[in-house]
Amino acid sequence: MNEHAFHLIALVISGVVVTICVVLHYEALRFLSHTVGVHVHKRIGVLVVMLGLLVAHVLEIIIFALGYIMMQYGAGLGHISGMDGGNLFDFIYYSSVVYTTVGFGDLLPVGAIRILTAAEGLTGLAMITWSASFTFLAMQRFWPHPLTKSDHNSKD
């Protein structure tokens, strides 16, 4: 198989992994928006949103880690240099570094697996930004606001 075929396979796998993560994130936001406020006291609504979003991000990181495992061991599309043994937790660590765009440092992708790494960095940035926007809206809705002078006047 030539190099172009490896990159095409890596692109397809990356597209599937990204799609799964975006759908998961969308469903998490949809679930949180329907659940918070209905079943949860407003005082803890923001806390529930934050914890729910953290769970979604961790699941997305794990999904990308499984994508790396599949690309490295299943399809032979490259490897992560600096990873000895490459157990699940090593791939989760690598995935979390890429997802949060912290940077590589000790680990470096080699081969077509780089396509998934690039896709994860972009996806992680988008999902974190989407979560921040959602959290802002939840805080506007649930966070206690101090009464302003105009609020006092309207109650009189």
Q: What is the pLDDT of residues 10-46, one digit of tens each?
A: 999 999 999 999 999 999 999 988 876 666 666 677 7
pLDDT exceeds 50 at position 117:
yes
The pLDDT of residue 122 is: 96
The pLDDT of residue 39 is: 61
Q: Which residues have CB under 8 Å from 89's CB, separation 6+?
A: none
Per-residue DSSP letter, 107: -
Question: Could you give the count of Cα atoms lying within 13 Å of 34 in the half-sphere of its Cβ?
Answer: 6
Global pTM? 0.86
Per-residue DSSP letter, 80: E
pLDDT-derived band at 156 (thresholds 50, 70, 90) equals very low
In this prediction, what percent of the chain has a pLDDT beyond 90? 63
Looking at the DSSP assignment, which residues form a beta bridge with residue 108? Answer: 81
pLDDT exceeds 90 at position 130:
yes
